[in-house]
Amino acid sequence: MLLRNATLATMTPDRPYGLIPDGAVVTEGERIVWAGAAADLPERYRTEEALDLGGRLVTPGLIDCHTHIVHGGDRAREFEMRLEGASYEEVARAGGGIVSTVRATRAASEEALLASALPRIDALIAEGVTGIEVKSGYGLDVETELAMLRAARRIAQVRPVRVRTSFLGAHALPPEFADRHDAYIDEVCLPALEAAHAEGLADAVDGFCEGIAFTPDQIARVFDRARGLGLSVKLHAEQLSNLGGARLAASYGALSADHLEYADEGDAAAMAEAGTVAVILPGAFYTLRETRVPPIAAFRAHGVPMAVATDCNPGSSPMTSLLLAMNMSATLFRMTPEECLAGVTRNAARALGMQDAGTIRAGQRADLAVWDVESPAELTYRIGFNPLWKRIFGGRP
């Protein structure tokens, strides 16, 4: 298939947006076989069946590289309570907070987990998303962690989207292990990781390194096991305080460290050295009404690749719009529109270890988004507006 009369934001790093004003793309099966200026289109492709894009903008299909999109229940009642003045403790005593999602997730079948995730998945797809990362972490027992990952894998069988799964057993401490973090790691988290790996359910291993979750030493034990199984790691780090999570992640050659509001210059240097992507999550910052912004300038100065994601979860980021995450990253964190678009394409692919996605060039998968806009900055600039014109997944419109 020949896509002609297109403005290409190829997102290759050689020039801003990798922009090619009068461009063309040729796909064959699932792959891109040629992309460039229309004037350079090889003779042999000129007779292909052509789709005239009328000058519209083509970007790589968007990638949401950090979500907790599979989960039971919701936390709308808790949202109301907090706005009526209830404290965090009162919410927790009324059965709210992360444990309420754990309870709802344990009570749901794998089928129900899949069914409840699909409307949220569809909202992402409607904005040109072609790749999604999904974490476990609301089961916190072996069976439910596996059920979450199985439901996540099934998304790719029922929707035209690629899915990467992350095992997040070290997300929170379930009530039955109150104050026994190490026992939870030994008796649930590590056995669940082994079982998930044996079933081929985990592409990577994640953790939550925070005062309200797990210490760097506990996370290191999970990462050691991941390394033993040959799995890549990533980490929720420096979201609410600096415990050294980003440096720990970097020391394991992590794909990414995520959140990072409390990261510092030294963390940025360590991440740059390790090639660890900084995943910026403005939805949680916004929802929790945080005030400390991630050190974007330090990441930029050290050359740390930055990705942007929704963190879609029922508590701290009930958001299913990657375009909104781009806008928030610009307005709240001062990322440029080009950094925001690279954050949901090239750098999001890198955060997932997806080497064949995130840019438009020969050899990449033909996962593309066509937008009814004149310039790529418009994707970040507008709020609550979806200019997607067509999505192409594996060469298929």
Q: Which residues bind ligand DI6 (CB under 6 A)?
A: 98, 101, 171, 208, 236, 239, 284, 313-316
Q: Residue 363: left (phi > 0), alpha (psi -120 to 50), or beta? A: left
What single DSSP character describes residue 365? B
Closest residue to Fe ion, judged by C-beta, is: 311
Cα(267)–Cα(25) distance, integer angstroms: 39
Considering CB distances under 5 to 8 angstroms, the limit depending on partner class, which of Fe ion, ligand DI6, none binds residue 333? none
Considering CB distances under 5 to 8 angstroms, the limit depending on partner class, which of Fe ion, ligand DI6, none binds residue 136? none
Residue type at position 395: G
Considering CB distances under 5 to 8 angstroms, the limit depending on partner class, which of ligand DI6, Fe ion, none binds residue 314? ligand DI6
Of the two residues 41 and 117, which places its CB atom closer to ligand DI6 in the complex?
117
Of the two residues 23 and 72, which places its CB atom closer to Fe ion in the complex?
72
Considering CB distances under 5 to 8 angstroms, the limit depending on partner class, which of ligand DI6, Fe ion, none binds residue 149? none
Residue type at position 353: G
Rg (CA), the chain: 21
As measured in angstroms, the least distance from the Cβ of 132 to Fe ion is 13
As measured in angstroms, the least distance from the Cβ of 258 to ligand DI6 is 8
Q: Which stretch binds Fe ion (CB under 5 A): 19-27, 113-121, 285-293, 306-314?
A: 306-314
As measured in angstroms, the least distance from the Cβ of 284 to Fe ion is 7
Of the two residues 216 and 315, which places its CB atom closer to Fe ion in the complex?
315
* Virtual torsion, Cα 198, 201, 207, 208, nearest 10 deg: -140
Of the two residues 64 and 110, which places its CB atom closer to Fe ion in the complex?
64
Residue type at position 388: L
Considering CB distances under 5 to 8 angstroms, the limit depending on partner class, which of Fe ion, ligand DI6, none binds residue 315? ligand DI6
Question: What residues have CB less than 8 Å from 62, skipping those under 6 apart?
Answer: 127, 128, 129, 130, 131, 322, 344, 345, 348, 369
As measured in angstroms, the least distance from the Cβ of 288 to ligand DI6 is 7
Of the two residues 3 and 237, which places its CB atom closer to Fe ion in the complex?
237
Question: What residues have CB less than 8 Å from 129, skipping those under 6 apart?
Answer: 61, 62, 63, 64, 161, 322
Of the two residues 102 and 146, which places its CB atom closer to ligand DI6 in the complex?
102
Of the two residues 147 and 209, which places its CB atom closer to Fe ion in the complex?
209
Quick one: CA dihedral 255, 257, 259, 265, positive or negative? negative
Figure out which of the listed residues 141, 203, 206, 311 binds Fe ion, where binding follows CB under 5 A. 311
For residues 375 and 17, is the Cβ–Cβ distance under 8 A? no
As measured in angstroms, the least distance from the Cβ of 191 to ligand DI6 is 21
Helix locations, the chain, DSSP H = 76-83, 88-93, 98-107, 110-125, 142-158, 181-184, 190-198, 216-228, 245-251, 265-274, 282-287, 296-302, 322-333, 337-343, 346-351, 378-381
> What are the structure tokens assigned to 118, written together?
């699909």
Residue 245 CA to its chain's centroid (Å): 19
Considering CB distances under 5 to 8 angstroms, the limit depending on partner class, which of ligand DI6, Fe ion, none binds residue 166? none
Considering CB distances under 5 to 8 angstroms, the limit depending on partner class, which of Fe ion, ligand DI6, none binds residue 204? none
Of the two residues 10 and 144, which places its CB atom closer to Fe ion in the complex?
144
End-to-end CA distance of the chain: 10
As measured in angstroms, the least distance from the Cβ of 259 to Fe ion is 7
Residue type at position 206: D
Count of residues of this chain found to bind Fe ion when the rule CB under 5 A is applied: 1
Residue type at position 268: A
As measured in angstroms, the least distance from the Cβ of 332 to ligand DI6 is 16
User: Binding residues for Fe ion, per CB under 5 A?
Assistant: 311
